Amino acid sequence: MPRGRAVQVVRDGVSLRYALDDGPWTRFQKQAGILAILAVVLDGFDIQLIGVAIPALMKAWSLPREAFVPVLGLGLVAMSVGTAINGWLGDRIGRKATLLASMVVFGLGTLASAFAGGMTLFLASRLVASVGLGGAMPSAVALLSEFTPVRRRSFMVTFGMICTPVGGVMAGLVAAWLLPAHGWPALFLVGGALPLVLALVIAAVLPESPQFLATRPARRAELERIARRLGAADAGGFGPIAGQAPVAKAGYGALLQGEERLPSIMLCVQFLGVLTAAYTVFNWLPVFSVSRGLDMAAAGTLLAAFNFGGMGGALIGALLIDRTGSRKLTLTFGIGGALGCLLTLAAFAAGASMPVLVAGLALAGLFIAGLQPMLFAIAANAYPASMRSTGIGAALAIGRFGAIASSFIGAMLVGAGAGAFFVFLCTMMLIVTGALWFMPRHVPGRSQTGE
């Protein structure tokens, strides 16, 4: 029996294991998963609001684009702080409670943005919203993982992460509908109201994670209600094994102790490398493209190619990861990302035609942006329930600091030319590949689980 499955039997109880991990994928579990995915969609929606609103705000307040740099930069810092804090809280007070708090915070912060009359209040409201945005993801991933059977778990986590750009697409469509007739405040009113409505639904419908409840004997009644909903034959088995001491509350220090140290470090390196590479492209590819003589329309097309390639790669990963496991699959993506960057560099250096450049960026996006959702599946598999949210939050927080660093690194790379830009991306992906190679806890494939 693989290590992760054995640990779960001991820590969470036999009935929990068979009902959640090996039993039928019930309507109750699917409903919980859908609510977690909707939270991810709204997270992506709210993250993209600022980008689509900036042109209207520039016009309304007669400000240059540079005036919004602090909003974007400090927003990423606030998201990283929110990720770290709420990842830790998810293992302390519960995934549901932390997800609810995050959604209320980013909903209220976004609503407040609609009433900002100037940059000071707007910046303050966006910082509040960003803390909530950063905190939603670790709890949503943990809930999605813990309510899905093992045979579909990595697929659902990876698929759920694809829904972040879906939220971004929704933001663009809503902006196209609202901005011309109602102006930028309407955009933030809708963006703030949606998470608050979903928070009410989650509060009423979504239960707390059974794996979290199993570590809290005082909340056994909640666990038994979930056991009945799942049709477990032995509701009494839904807690820690008789005589077992309560699981210690995990903190970030626990991630660097004993057997948790190596997987924690490797996960942080993976998230840091992938997010640094991806955000360098997101933030600076259009500027780089224009510096190479392309017009803005062509630059936008290349960025779209990278994004669409990433969505395709993530979908491929979601379909394959439960079947093949994550090790060979993600190593292929890591190496593919490095090669895709070198091929795109060669295309730019040779003055290739636009279709060739589009193909190169789509290939690079398939492997770079497509790899990121699979890292969440690896992180969800790597930790026991008692520290899962903390571990996911730590890795994602470190990764978001890479996104912040890309704001400064990208500017230097664009000035240094095509070679520096794409060699840097290639180097990031090779570092990620090394961390994936040394990662001791990958998602097992079906042949490894005996299914």
Query: Comparing 245-254, 297-306, 420-429, which segment has the lowest mean pLDDT?
Result: 245-254
- Is residue 104 included in any domain, yes or no? yes
Does 325 share its domain with 266?
yes
pLDDT of 247 reads: 44
Q: How far apart are CA 35 and CA 31, in angstroms?
A: 6
Helices 261-291/296-324 angle, 10° precision: 160
Cα angle: 289, vertex 293, 294; to 5 degrees? 55
Instruction: Give the structural domain span for 430.
Output: 256-449
Name the one residue in this structure whose structure tokens are 């398939």: 366
- Is residue 427 included in any domain, yes or no? yes
Q: If pLDDT is split at 50, 70 and 90, which confidence band does 83 have?
A: confident
* Secondary structure (3-state) at 179: helix
pLDDT of 244 reads: 37
Query: Comparing 2-6, 90-94, 210-214, 313-317, which segment has the lowest mean pLDDT?
Result: 2-6
Q: Which residues of 161-196 are buried (b: 16+ CB within 10 A; e: fewer)?
A: bbbbbebbebbeebbeebbeeeebbbbbbbbbebbb
Q: How far apart are CA 371 and CA 378, in angstroms?
A: 11
Does 146 share its domain with 50?
yes
Domain boundary among 207, 237, 267: 237
Q: If pLDDT is split at 50, 70 and 90, which confidence band does 344 have?
A: very high
pLDDT digits (tens, 9 = 90+) for 154-210: 888 888 888 877 787 787 778 888 888 888 899 899 999 999 999 999 999 998 888
- Is residue 298 included in any domain, yes or no? yes
Higher pLDDT, 450 or 119: 119
pLDDT of 444 reads: 87
- Is residue 125 included in any domain, yes or no? yes
Q: How far apart are CA 249 and CA 253, in angstroms?
A: 11
Does 191 share its domain with 270?
no
Does 209 share its domain with 279?
no
* Secondary structure (3-state) at 380: helix
Share of residues in the chain with pLDDT > 70 (%): 89
Q: Do 82 and 130 form a contact (C-beta atoms < 8 A)?
A: yes
Query: Comparing 71-85, 103-117, 191-205, 313-327, which segment has the lowest mean pLDDT?
Result: 71-85
Q: If pLDDT is split at 50, 70 and 90, which confidence band does 241 have?
A: very low
- Is residue 250 included in any domain, yes or no? no
Span 275-289, average pLDDT: 83
Higher pLDDT, 136 or 51: 136
User: How far is CA 267 from its chain centroid?
Assistant: 13
- Is residue 7 included in any domain, yes or no? no
Does 184 share its domain with 232?
yes
Domain boundary among 174, 204, 237: 237
Does 270 share its domain with 355?
yes
Span 394-407, average pLDDT: 85
Q: How far apart are CA 16 and CA 304, in angstroms?
A: 44
Does 83 share its domain with 226?
yes
pLDDT of 330 reads: 95
pLDDT of 374 reads: 92
CATH number of the structural domain spanning residue 318: 1.20.1250.20
The secondary structure of the chain in percent helix, strand, coil, rounded to multiples of 5, reads 85, 0, 15
Q: Which residues of 248-284 are buried (b: 16+ CB within 10 A; e: fewer)?
A: eebebebbeeeebeebbbbbbbbbbbbbbbbbbbbbb
Does 205 share its domain with 289?
no
pLDDT of 284 reads: 80
Q: If pLDDT is split at 50, 70 and 90, which confidence band does 3 have?
A: very low
Q: If pLDDT is split at 50, 70 and 90, which confidence band does 246 have?
A: very low
Does 233 share its domain with 271?
no
Q: Does residue 127 carry a pLDDT above 70?
A: yes
Q: If pLDDT is split at 50, 70 and 90, which confidence band does 17 have?
A: low
Q: How far apart are CA 310 and CA 102, in angstroms?
A: 27
Q: How far apart are CA 423 and CA 400, in angstroms?
A: 21
Count of Cβ atoms closer than 10 Å to residue 384 Cβ: 18
- Is residue 74 included in any domain, yes or no? yes
Q: Does residue 2 carry a pLDDT above 70?
A: no
pLDDT of 366 reads: 93
Span 56-84, average pLDDT: 83
Count of Cβ atoms closer than 10 Å to residue 201 Cβ: 11
Does 140 share its domain with 274?
no
Q: If pLDDT is split at 50, 70 and 90, which confidence band does 4 have?
A: very low
Total of domains in the chain: 2
pLDDT of 242 reads: 36
Span 404-417, average pLDDT: 79
Q: If pLDDT is split at 50, 70 and 90, which confidence band does 435 have?
A: very high
Does 271 share its domain with 370?
yes
pLDDT of 142 reads: 85
Does 404 share its domain with 287?
yes
- Of residues 292, 290, 282, 268, the one with CA closest to residue 417: 292
The backbone torsions φ and ψ at residue 43, rounded to the nearest 5 degrees and listed phi first, read -60, -50
pLDDT of 1 reads: 36
Mean pLDDT in the chain? 82
pLDDT of 90 reads: 83
Give the type of residue at 443. V
pLDDT digits (tens, 9 = 90+) for 135-151: 888 888 888 888 888 78
pLDDT of 201 reads: 95
Q: How far apart are CA 388 and CA 316, in angstroms?
A: 25
Q: If pLDDT is split at 50, 70 and 90, which confidence band does 225 have?
A: confident
Q: If pLDDT is split at 50, 70 and 90, which confidence band does 405 have?
A: confident
Q: Does residue 264 carry a pLDDT above 90?
A: yes
- Is residue 421 included in any domain, yes or no? yes
pLDDT of 431 reads: 97
Q: If pLDDT is split at 50, 70 and 90, which confidence band does 356 have?
A: very high
